[in-house]
Every structure is written in C-alpha cells, then in structure tokens.
C-alpha cells in the first residue's frame, strides 16, 4: 500500500509529486506512456502568463498569479531556462475597451506593473509590429519557460527525493476500498491511501470511474508552427491578439531556446489523441500571426505540431477531493494557464493531502537539481578541460543544435532518464533544429542502444507503436540475433 499514487507524469503530476516528496510519505507516479512530458505538457506555448486572462475569484486566476510569482526561484533551484520578457496584447480597434477589461481583470487578480500603451509606444518596444496596431496591454510579469525542462526538472527532483515512477502503466479502473483506493492497471493492481488524478485530457475518464458527480473534459486542439533559431530576434516579447471565446488566440513568441513560435488555434475535437496538424489550422496560424507581425519570415518554418487543452465545461481548474470519494484528489480541467500554475498546483495539492493525512516533513528533502551540462555555456578553456576528461563531450551528434554525445549520455543516465529518441530530443535538443533529426537520429539510436543494452530495432521514437527500424540490412546483424 502506497501513501499517495499520482496518475499522470505531465507537469501537474510531477509538480504534485515533488511537493509531496517534502513529506515523509511513500509516493508513486503511474504513467500510461513511456516517459515524463508526453502529452499536453510537451505541446503548448511555454508562456508564463501574467494572470489577467482568468476570471477574478477563480482558482485559475489565483494559481496563475501564484505560479507566475514562484517561477523565478523555482527556475534557479531546478536549473531551468526562464525569461521574464513581458507580454503585449495588441488591439486593432480604435477603442481599447477589451484591453481595459483585461487590465481591470488583471488588477483584481493581483497582476503587477501592467500598462495600456498606444500603438506607437508598442512599436517602439517591438519594431516589427503591424502599423495597424492601435493600442496594447503591456504586462511585464509575463515570461517564457521551457515546458519540457520544467516537467523533467520536477520529475527528476521528485525521484531524487524518493518518488517512484512506473511508466507504460495505464490505470484502467479505480475502486474504493475500506482504507483507500485500488487501481487496476495493465501492470497489475496498486493500492493507495490517496490518489491524485493528474491525467490531463483523460482526467474526466478517471474521475468518472470512481465518482458519481460526473465531469466532462473536451480536448481543445491548438496547432503551431516553429521558426528556425536563425530568425529568433524578430520579436522579444510575447505578442497576443485580443482573446476570443475560445481563449487567448494566436500568439507570436520567442522561445527560451531562441526560436519563434506561432499559434495556437483552438478547435474542439473528440479524439483525445488527435494531435495531428491540419492545412486549415496552419493557414489560420499563418494568417493571424502575419496580421500581428506582417514581416514574419514564414519561409523559416522548421516544424509544426499540435497540443490538446483539457477544456472542462465550467472553464475552471477542478482541484480538490472528490466530494463523494474519500482520498481521491482531482487535478482536472488544467488547461491554459496550467503550465504557469503547475508550481502552485503542486503546492496546493500537497497542502491538501498534508492537511488530510498529517504527515511529518521530510528533513532530507533536497530542493535543488542540476540540469544537463551544456558545454556551449562554458568558456573555451573550460570546454577543452571537460573534453580532455570526458571525450564524449567533444563528439557532436546533433549539428543543428550542437549537442554532444556527453549530453545525450547524461540525459539517459540521470534520474527518470531518456529511453527514446523523443526523450533524448526533449531533454537535450538533439533533433530540435533545422534538420529535425534527419542527421542525428541514427547516431542517437546507436547511443541509446549501447547505453540501454538494447538492439537498435528495440529503440523507439516515442511510445510502443513507434519502432523505427525492423532490423539491419547490411553487416553486423549479430546484435539483433542476440
Ligand atoms: C495549445 C496549448 C497551449 C498552451 N499554452 C500554455 C501556455 O502558454 N502557458 C500555460 O501556462 N499553459 C499552457 N497550456 C496549458 C498547459 O500546457 C497544460 O495545462 C498542462 O501542460 C497540463 O498538464 P497536465 O500534467 O495536467 O497534463 P498532461 O501533460 O497531459 O499529463 C497528463 C498525463 O497523464 C497520463 N495519463 C492519462 N491517462 C492515464 C491513465 N489512465 N493512466 C496513467 N496515466 C495516464 C498521460 O499520458 C499524460 O502523460 C497550453 C495547452 C495547450 C494544449
């Protein structure tokens, strides 16, 4: 019997797990996929929202602003990239009434430092903005974070503090027992005193397995285009247009790694795995992004992708013990600003469980984590010294992003390490560049195969159904027959 089982290793589940590891509790994370950060947490805008969007008085508004305030210290402790670059909501209207509404809402939510600017003032900050922009809401507290690194950092730090992770473990059913909850999975039965439901777009399915008070989540797809780092200087702030009833609209933003991201669209769908992009979606992204910044270098698109928001009917975070199921804690309906709010959601859920279970604090809790060593951040002298001691740092595997074999080995061997090509890519950026892994994937496969002692035919791109090769056609068939 485990004290707490968290379902889902996205940014919310891992933030909760890390906060729970500050207590003397046994904590386990069950994840149906092969890794951390494989669903919504890997495909979003990476914006740390200031907090003027959410309705005042909601949990969404409270946790947005709180999460935003926590991000700086957390980024330092967990060694992840975070930049407070500020955002502009631009308006093409003569009257700035929507901006004023957002401003008032932001004030009520506790957002600091906002200002309504004229079009010219906004263009002075962002010279590539359209001449049609009449006004803008500037929010200096908005920022950008690397969504992958935030998720991995939570998971690694939780693991170092004793949290167990079980991958490829799908919860199929949940039942109440006399002293807790029983989870049927494809890997057997697990029992826990408390269960945290952080299952993203599946959170309603899990909630409805055990609670009579049903909730409904609709996957709301958002499609994106990513521009090459070569044009990274084109914008420096996060540029939003005025929001619509479907959300914050198409934005243009720099990323923490120097690319430019355009999107997302917003379209309700039924398929909870429907992360394909569409011609219509991408042309909407192009058209709307060009309205904000007409000179956008769209010939520099290197990839497109889509993510699914877990849109709950009431458009509110549902966080708390289900009223009719003792010990079942929902963390559901976590759509945007869920990434921003994740640190605050982790704290909120851990406080709730601590109040219910009364555990002691864990005096051994380690609250820092060191990210993957990036030789590019070292001086030439330091880099040379590193390569002398560990020659694998001198072997560049991904030429677009200049990622070395040493970084890939670090990504594989650290706590909750990478087991797939995508796992390596999100942790190190090998394959994230202009060639989109055309060059480095065979080399990364070799390293994965060598380090995990698996045949190359067993190396996956991501999950189970994503095998890359079926066998070796020329020479060296030995490893496959072993
Ligand atoms: C297009 C888009 C843009 C966004 N932009 C932003 C932004 O800029 N800023 C911001 O703050 N937020 C943003 N968000 C929201 C943010 O990305 C999400 O709120 C956040 O990632 C949700 O994290 P999660 O852990 O709840 O869900 P997920 O990351 O989806 O994790 C849930 C996990 O549960 C697992 N799971 C599901 N069912 C089971 C089961 N039965 N058994 C075991 N495991 C299971 C899944 O495999 C998954 O790994 C955006 C979202 C989208 C889609």
Q: Are strands 301-312 and 27-30 parallel, antiparallel or unpaired?
A: unpaired
Alpha-carbon span 142 to 457, nearest angstrom: 44
Those residues with Cβ within 8 angstroms of residue 407's Cβ, 6 or more apart along the chain or in another chain: 372, 373, 374, 375, 393, 428, 430
Residue of 199, 239, 273, 281 to test ligand 1 pocket, by largest number of atoms within 8 Å of CB: 199
For tokens 């020659």, the residue is 391
pLDDT at residue 45 is higher than 70: yes
* Residue 51 Cβ < 6 Å to ligand 1: no
Going by pLDDT thresholds of 50, 70 and 90, the confidence category of residue 470 is confident
Alpha-carbon span 450 to 346, nearest angstrom: 36
Average pLDDT over residues 81-103: 95
Check residue 176 and report its DSSP letter.
E
* Residue 174 Cβ < 6 Å to ligand 1: no
The tokens of 83 are what? 């930049």
Give tens-digit pLDDT for 187-228.
999 999 999 999 999 999 999 999 999 999 999 999 999 999
Spell out the domain ranges in the chain.
Answer: 1-82+146-216+313-371, 83-145+218-311, 375-481
Beta bridge mates, 251: 263
So what's the pLDDT on residue 335? Answer: 97
Degrees (nearest 5) of the Cα angle 440, 261, 422? 30
* Residue 170 Cβ < 6 Å to ligand 1: yes
Length of the chain: 482
Catalytic positions: 49
Q: 83-145+218-311 has which CATH code?
A: 3.30.9.10
Going by pLDDT thresholds of 50, 70 and 90, the confidence category of residue 479 is low
Check residue 45 and report its DSSP letter.
-
Using a 10 angstrom Cβ sphere, with 0-12 exposed, 13-18 middle and 19 or more buried, the burial of residue 163 is buried
Expressed in angstroms and rounded, the spacing between residue 338 Cα and the centre of ligand 1 is 8
Alpha-carbon span 482 to 480, nearest angstrom: 5
Average pLDDT over residues 39-58: 98
Collapse the DSSP code of 312 into the 3-class scheme (helix H, G, I; strand E, B; otherwise coil) and give the result: strand
So what's the pLDDT on residue 146? Answer: 98
Q: Are strands 301-312 and 267-268 parallel, antiparallel or unpaired?
A: unpaired
pLDDT at residue 49 is higher than 80: yes
Buried b (16+ CB within 10 A) or exposed e, 131-150: eebbbbbbbbbbbbbbbbbb
Alpha-carbon span 93 to 241, nearest angstrom: 11
What percentage of the chain carries pLDDT values higher than 90?
A: 94
Handedness of CA 90, 95, 97, 103 (dihedral sign): positive
Give tens-digit pLDDT for 104-114.
999 999 999 99
Q: Are strands 87-91 and 238-241 parallel, antiparallel or unpaired?
A: parallel
CB atoms within 10 A of CB 393: 22
Q: Does domain 1-82+146-216+313-371 have CATH number 3.90.1580.10?
A: no
Q: Read off the pTM.
A: 0.96
- Across the chain, mean pLDDT equals 96
Alpha-carbon span 190 to 106, nearest angstrom: 43
* Residue 207 Cβ < 6 Å to ligand 1: no
Residue nearest to atom 14 of ligand 1 (CA): 336
Residue nearest to atom 26 of ligand 1 (CA): 200
pLDDT at residue 363 is higher than 90: yes
Angle at which helices 147-160 and 421-428 cross, to 10° = 100
So what's the pLDDT on residue 480? Answer: 52
Using a 10 angstrom Cβ sphere, with 0-12 exposed, 13-18 middle and 19 or more buried, the burial of residue 61 is buried
* Residue 46 Cβ < 6 Å to ligand 1: yes
Expressed in angstroms and rounded, the spacing between residue 339 Cα and the centre of ligand 1 is 8
């Amino acid at each position: 019997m485990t004290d707490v089982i968290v379902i889902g290793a996205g940014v919310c589940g891992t933030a909760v797990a890390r906060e729970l590891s500050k207590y003397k509790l046994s904590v386990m994370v069950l994840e149906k996929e092969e890794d951390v950060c494989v669903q919504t947490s890997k495909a979003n805008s990476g914006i740390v929202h200031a907090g003027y969007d959410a309705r005042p008085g909601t949990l969404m508004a409270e946790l947005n602003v709180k999460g935003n305030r926590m991000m700086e210290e957390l980024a330092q402790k967990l060694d992840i990239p975070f930049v407070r670059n500020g955002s502009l909501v631009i308006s093409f209207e003569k009257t700035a009434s929507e901006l004023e509404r957002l401003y008032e809402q932001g004030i009520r939510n506790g957002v600091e430092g906002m200002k309504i600017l004229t079009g010219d003032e906004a263009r002075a900050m962002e010279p590539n903005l359209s001449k049609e922009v009449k006004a803008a809401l500037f929010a200096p507290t908005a920022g950008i974070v690397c969504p992958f690194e935030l998720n991995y950092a939570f998971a690694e730090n939780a693991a170092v503090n004793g949290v167990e992770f079980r991958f490829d473990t799908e919860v199929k059913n949940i039942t109440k027992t006399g002293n807790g909850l029983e989870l049927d999975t494809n890997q057997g039965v697990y029992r826990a005193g408390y269960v945290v439901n952080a299952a993203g777009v599946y959170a309603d399915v899990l909630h409805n397995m055990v609670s009579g008070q049903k909730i409904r989540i609709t996957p709301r797809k958002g499609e994106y285009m990513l521009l090459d780092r070569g044009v990274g200087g084109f914008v420096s702030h996060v540029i939003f247009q005025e929001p619509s009833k479907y959300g914050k609209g198409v934005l243009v933003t720099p990323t923490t790694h120097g690319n430019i991201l355009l999107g997302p669209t917003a379209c309700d769908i039924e398929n909870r795995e429907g992360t394909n992009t569409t011609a219509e979606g991408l042309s909407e992204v192009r058209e709307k992004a060009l309205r904000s910044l007409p000179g956008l270098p769209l010939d520099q698109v290197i990839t497109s992708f889509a993510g699914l928001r877990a849109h709950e009917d009431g458009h509110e975070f549902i966080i708390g013990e289900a009223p009719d199921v003792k010990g079942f804690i929902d963390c559901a309906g976590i759509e945007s600003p869920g990434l921003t709010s994740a640190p605050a959601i982790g704290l909120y859920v851990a406080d709730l469980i601590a109040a219910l279970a009364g555990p002691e604090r864990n005096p051994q809790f380690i609250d820092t984590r060191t990210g993957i060593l990036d030789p590019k951040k070292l001086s030439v002298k330091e880099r040379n010294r590193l390569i002398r001691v560990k020659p694998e740092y001198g072997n560049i595997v991904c030429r677009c992003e200049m990622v070395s074999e040493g970084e890939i080995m670090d990504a594989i061997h650290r706590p909750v390490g990478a087991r797939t090509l995508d796992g390596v890519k999100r942790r190190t950026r090998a394959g994230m560049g202009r060639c989109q892994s055309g060059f480095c994937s065979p080399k990364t496969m070799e390293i994965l195969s060598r380090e995990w002692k698996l045949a190359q035919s067993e190396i996956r791109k991501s999950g189970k159904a994503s095998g890359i090769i079926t066998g070796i056609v020329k020479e060296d068939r030995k490893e496959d027959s072993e």
